[in-house]
């Protein structure tokens, strides 16, 4: 279930930007966002473990999506209020560094033993590990959901012109 929830974060940013930052809801957004959300729902409906619904994983994925959306909205607000982008980037990196400090030892070991090209294969390895460890084999419905997510994002990015 958590596989699709991270896709909610950009949708949350778009909807909350329209509501709280008064960015509005243009036609491509009104059409594309529901398409992408439908894709997330389809992926979520087919993602499960042998033990059934993983509520802890679901809640953690939802928390991550909400935190991402909240941080993005805060950043957009601060930038529009005149904050310096370099300062915001520094504080974001500093906050991430502090949050990850407990894993410094394992990170150092992983970096020392990783081959130079390891970072380029991260997405493929993540999919493979999800399949091998979590048993998350993409179903046709999940693939359809992923395609709808991408289509929804594509539609929201289209520059539709208003008729004069």
Residue 2 is predicted with a pLDDT of: 46
Contacts of 39 (CB under 8 A, 6+ apart): 4, 7, 144, 145, 146, 147, 148, 149, 150, 151, 152
pLDDT, tens digit, for every residue of 22-66?
888 888 878 887 887 777 677 666 655 566 666 676 677 778 778
Are residues 31 and 153 in contact, defined by beta-carbon separation less than 8 angstroms?
no
- What pTM, to 2 d.p., does this model score? 0.51
Tokens coding 24: 């509005």
Residue 71's pLDDT is 86
Size (the chain), residues: 164
Q: Percent of the chain at pLDDT above 90?
A: 10
In order along its 164 residues, the chain shows pLDDT tens digits of: 444 555 677 778 878 888 888 888 888 878 887 887 777 677 666 655 566 666 676 677 778 778 888 888 898 889 989 999 999 989 988 998 999 899 899 988 887 887 655 564 554 566 667 778 888 777 777 667 777 777 877 787 776 655 55
Residues 46, 145 contacting (CB under 8 angstroms): yes
Round to whole Å and give the CA distance between 13 and 66: 9
Contact 40, 8 (CB under 8 A): yes
- Coil, strand or helix at 82: coil
């Amino acid at each position: 279930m958590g596989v699709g929830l991270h896709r909610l974060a950009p949708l949350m940013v778009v909807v909350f930007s329209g509501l709280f930052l008064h960015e509005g809801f243009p036609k491509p957004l009104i059409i594309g966002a529901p398409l992408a959300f439908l894709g997330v729902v389809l992926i979520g409906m087919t993602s499960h473990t042998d033990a059934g619904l993983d509520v802890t994983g679901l809640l953690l994925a939802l928390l991550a999506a909400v935190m991402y959306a909240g941080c993005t909205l805060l950043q957009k607000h601060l930038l529009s209020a005149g904050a310096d982008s370099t300062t915001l980037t520094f504080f974001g990196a500093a906050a991430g560094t502090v949050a990850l400090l407990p894993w410094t030892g394992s990170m150092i070991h992983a970096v020392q033993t990783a081959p130079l090209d390891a970072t380029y294969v991260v997405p493929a390895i993540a999919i493979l590990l999800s399949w091998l460890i979590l048993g998350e084999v993409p179903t046709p419905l999940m693939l359809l959901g992923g395609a709808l997510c991408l289509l929804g994002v594509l539609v929201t990015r289209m520059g539709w012109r208003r008729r004069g």
